[in-house]
A and B are shown apart, each in its own frame.
Chain A
Amino acid sequence: MNFFVLLFLIIGLVFFTGGAVGIIRMPDFYSRLHPAGKLDTLGILAMVLGFALFNLKTFSISELLLSIKMLLIVFFVFLSSPTATHSIVDAGIRAGLRHWTKEDKR
């Protein structure tokens, strides 16, 4: 059981690290949103799964309810993350920001 908990936590950590590194490394506003909005979504899924499993080690009704509450967090993040990403992209488009292409080196 502990093995799976650790596995999920490490997977989540790798995805969160990837998201943070991606925000720094990507060339422009729009491509920075790709790692920021979505590697984090999968990272939070993996991490919260790990926490929920760890919480279920001693099985009882209240522990089960706590795990379900944690999964509710993931559900709401899955709803709100694409919406937030979309509204940030929309703000960029409205401000007239051009997206980076291969031709403009910097």
Chain B
Amino acid sequence: MTISEKKEFKNKSSGKPFKSILSFSLTFILMFGLWVILSGNFEPLLIFLGLFSSFLCAFFFKDLLFSDPDSDFLLIMFRFFKYIPWLIFEIIKANFHLLYLVFHPRMKDMIDPHVVVIKTGLKKEMSIVTMANSITLTPGTITINADREGVFKVHSIDKESAEALPGTMLKKTARIFGEDK
């Protein structure tokens, strides 16, 4: 029995019905929503078959997507969805900067590629993933490496994008996952 299996076994045997029901219903809602979007049929028989198959999927794979929902899992999801519009706005702003750089005739004088190391205090895996992907999506910066201590190596195209970096994005990411203390 591997460690993960043991953990699952413990979770099931110690009987936390709330967590199990939460992950089951979230998976079920996701599966059925996707089914409705992708099928586009609204006949009663097909709807029933869709309900049945998403029920089966959610029943068997409830540990897969939302494996261990914390008590404030829904709160984190809510804050995450509030973060996305800000991220898209930031991506658009930075994209225009990169577009300006690309079409500038003297581009090679303006860019100054270098690697910066940022120390963040992030500890949770999900927050490190979110931070790394946000950095990569924001043009001008690419995450090269990130480790468990929350140290990021970032390749940035010019000084301006490197200086803007740890600031607001880090604060927002830390707030989503409740790491700002």
Check A93 against B137 for contact (C-beta < 8 Å).
no
A85 to B99, CA, bound (A): 18
Check B136 against A85 for contact (C-beta < 8 Å).
yes
A39 to B155, CA, bound (A): 17
Which residues from chain B contact A27 at a C-beta distance below 8 Å?
A: 108, 111, 113
Check B113 against A86 for contact (C-beta < 8 Å).
no
Shortest CB distance B101–A (Å): 8
With A42-B91, A82-B136, A99-B115 as given contacts, are A62 and B40 in contact (CB-CB < 8 Å)? yes
Check A22 against B102 for contact (C-beta < 8 Å).
yes
Interface of A is mostly: helix
Check B132 against A28 for contact (C-beta < 8 Å).
no
Which residues from chain A contact B142 at a C-beta distance below 8 Å?
A: 30, 33-34, 37, 85-86, 89
Interface string of A1-38 (1 = CB under 8 A from B): 00000000000001100100110011110110111011
Check A82 against B133 for contact (C-beta < 8 Å).
yes
Check B155 against A30 for contact (C-beta < 8 Å).
yes
Check A69 against B98 for contact (C-beta < 8 Å).
no
Shortest CB distance B145–A (Å): 7
Which residues from chain B contact A18 at a C-beta distance below 8 Å?
A: 98-99, 102-103
Check A39 against B139 for contact (C-beta < 8 Å).
yes
Nearest CB in chain B to that of A21: its residue: B102
Instruction: Tell me if B107 counts as interface (CB < 8 A to partner A).
Output: yes
With A27-B108, A89-B144 as given contacts, are A34 and B37 in contact (CB-CB < 8 Å)? no
Tier of interface size on chain A: 35 or more
A72 to B36, CA, bound (A): 13
A35 to B97, CA, bound (A): 11
Nearest CB in chain A to that of B112: its residue: A102
| Interface of chain A residues 64 through 81 with chain B (CB within 8 A) | 65, 68-69, 72, 78, 81
Shortest CB distance B162–A (Å): 13
Interface string of B125-150 (1 = CB under 8 A from A): 00000001100111110111100000
Check B98 against A34 for contact (C-beta < 8 Å).
yes
Shortest CB distance A21–B (Å): 6
Task: From the candidates B36, B112, B144, name the one contacting A90 in the complex (CB within 8 A).
Answer: B144
Most buried by B among A31, A72, A100, A102: A31
Nearest CB in chain A to that of B143: its residue: A86
User: Would you list the 6 A-B pairs with minimal beta carbon distance, nearest first?
Assistant: A82-B136, A22-B102, A38-B139, A82-B133, A18-B99, A42-B95
Given A15-B95, A37-B136, A86-B143, 4 extra CB contacts under 8 A: A15-B99, A39-B98, A42-B95, A62-B40
Give 13 CB contacts A-B under 8 Å.
A15-B99, A18-B102, A21-B103, A33-B142, A34-B139, A39-B99, A45-B88, A83-B133, A85-B142, A89-B155, A93-B144, A101-B112, A101-B113
